[in-house]
Chain A
Amino acid sequence: MAGKKEEANIKAYSQNFTTMTPGSFAKKMRTCVIFQFIRFIVINLKMLVVVSKSH
């Protein structure tokens, strides 16, 4: 089977046929500690901006 594992859940012409799915690199980055530590800081800063606009 030559297909990619990440795309195996897509069923032809079913309700999930038109959506996007992450590739292996995108999935790996989700739990890459170094990258996620940077995202942790970025997300916190973004959230703080929204929190400050809401109080």
Chain B
Amino acid sequence: MLVSGHTAATFAAKWLGSAHEVVVVTPNAKWNWIPSNIWVGVGQMKKEEVTFDLAPVYAKAGITYKQAKAVSLNPEGSASSNKPFVTVEFTEAGKAGTTENIEYDYIINATGPKLNFGATPGLGVGSELGEHTVSVCTADHAVHASHELEKCIEKMKKGERQKFLIGTGHGMCTCQGAAFEYIFNIEHELNRAGVRDMADIKWISNESFLGDFGVGGLHMKTMGYSVSSKIFAESLFTERGVDWIIGAHVNKVESGKAHYELLDGSMGEEEFNFSMLIPPFAGVGLKAFDKAGEDITATVFAPNGFMKVDANYAAGAYENWKASDWPSTYQNPTYSNMFACGIAFAPPHPISKPMSSPNGTPINPTPPRTGMPSGIIGKAVAHSICDRILKGENAPLHEASMANMGAACVASAGKGLFNGTAAAMTIYPVIPDFEKYPGTGRDTDYTFGEIGLAGHWIKHILHHLFIWKAKLKAGWTLIPE
């Protein structure tokens, strides 16, 4: 529960007031502004700058906070009670391992993802990072990554050439943007350290073309042209001397070596001294049971573990996909008092065109549901629930479809007040709508991007702005998601 769940909980507490109880269940003691983990991972920020304690913030907001993880849902209650409940297992010191059943009237599933390192042999076990690569998915991972990077820089200063491999660690990953930011921040830091000439830097990802970013790429209007993000991405990679491997499913990681399969079915391997490979995401493994105790997990959740919502899961082949397949209210179709937002909702299908190798291995990005859209979705879901509580059970639900929503994204390419750069982009809508916008699928009047120092300033200001908002400091509701 991070951006989406935190947004939903804090707005719900504000709108409902003290007459109703808002309970947050999260296994974490600290909130983490994940976008800035990139800067922690290159030693340009400390962990304390991207995290803060949740307990005092929720105490201030009047939210009941339980440091625990949800393990199962009983949306019909149990044999002895009709009241639905969620079973949680505490993670805080002193209560770790103990469980509690929490009854609810409405529930929002905003668990975020399970970091599924275990999907790739050698990348990790289950949700635990392995020993061969680093990660920037959590603040602790990023601290570890910065230490490993520092070791490589020291080796280069002593004349030992180092090879960096950054990208996605599986054919079904999302979050290419985070890896994109990390590779260019590393390149920037190596320049700063005066050792860039001692480094070979390579990108590896499951995108079928550079600049896909899990959204099928985007076209930006510039110099009178509508230009594909592929052109911009290839340009930046070339300018910064970064080679790339695309259409790759990393299928095994060993010490200093990654094995992969490409979209053409060929196999390859790449050696490295330092590697950050994003893991695929999965649902956190919540179970669901009916009143009789029968397992109804397959009714409530999709096979990937994410919760089913009001999406069209029967769209079928790519040719049949429509923007309207995407959910708008995030209400579970079976239980109307259950909602899912952020990464926790099951998308109807990818955004990028699905592809697979001749060996049948699927290799394509899965859809991102993070950042600005997840915040907007969390707020809309909170609004819907508050309306139903305050105005009655038939109050209309609020809508926030990614097919009618834009997103602003700032991808850092190096930190520095006067020499930093970032790619500032907007995309509208997030889900391409080829019926409404034939050709590019997007409105190019509202889809743009450029790289420069201004983008870095925006990224740094947003860092402080969103942490201010998350801490519920003065005027937090005025800061848009």
Contacts and interface: CB of A to CB of B under 8 A. Distances in A.
A50 B454 contact: no
A55 B418 contact: no
Main SS of the interface on chain A? helix
A27 B451 CA distance: 10
Given A15-B244, A30-B421, A54 B407 contact: yes
A20 B235 contact: yes
B408 A31 contact: no
B235 A19 contact: yes
A9 B239 CA distance: 7
A55 to B, nearest CB: 6
B450 interface: yes
Contacts of A16: 234, 237-238, 243
Nearest to B233: A19
Identify the interface centre among B238, B239, B450: most chain A CB within 10 Å of its CB: B238
Main SS of the interface on chain B? mixed
B470 interface: no
Identify the interface centre among A6, A20, A43, A55: most chain B CB within 10 Å of its CB: A43
B428 A50 contact: yes
A46 to B, nearest CB: 6
A50 B418 contact: no
Contacts of B454: 36-37, 39-40, 43
Interface in A10-55: 10, 15-16, 18-22, 27, 29-33, 36-37, 39-40, 43-44, 46-47, 49-51, 53-55
Nearest to A10: B238
A47 B408 contact: yes
A36 B406 CA distance: 24
A51 B453 contact: no
A51 B419 CA distance: 28
B239 A21 contact: yes
Contacts of B355: none
A9 B426 CA distance: 29
A50 B458 contact: no
A16 to B, nearest CB: 4
Interface residues of A, number: 30
A10 B426 CA distance: 29
Given A21-B238, A22-B235, A36-B452, A31 B424 contact: no
Interface residues of B, number: 35
B453 A30 contact: yes
Interface in B374-418: 376, 404-408, 418
A18 to B, nearest CB: 8
A30 B446 contact: no
Contacts of A37: 454
Interface string B203-245: 0000000000000000000000000000100110111110110
Contacts of B455: 43
B231 A50 contact: no
A54 B238 contact: no
Contacts of A44: 458
Contact of B407 (A15, A31, A50): A50
B321 interface: no
A19 B231 contact: yes
Contacts of B421: 30-31
Nearest to B246: A15
A53 B446 contact: yes
B306 interface: no
Contact of B238 (A19, A33, A50, A53): A19
Interface string B255-278: 000000000000000000000000
A36 B458 CA distance: 11
Identify the interface centre among B237, B454, B457, B480: most chain A CB within 10 Å of its CB: B454
A32 B406 CA distance: 29
Contacts of B457: 36, 40
Contacts of B345: none
B426 A46 contact: yes
A50 B452 contact: no
A22 B458 CA distance: 22
14 contacts: A15-B244, A16-B238, A27-B239, A29-B452, A30-B451, A31-B418, A31-B421, A36-B457, A39-B452, A44-B458, A50-B408, A51-B372, A53-B428, A54-B376
Given A51-B372, A54-B407, 9 more contacts: A20-B231, A30-B451, A31-B421, A43-B424, A43-B454, A47-B426, A50-B426, A54-B428, A55-B376
In order of increasing CB-CB distance, the 3 nearest A-B pairs are A19-B234, A40-B454, A50-B406
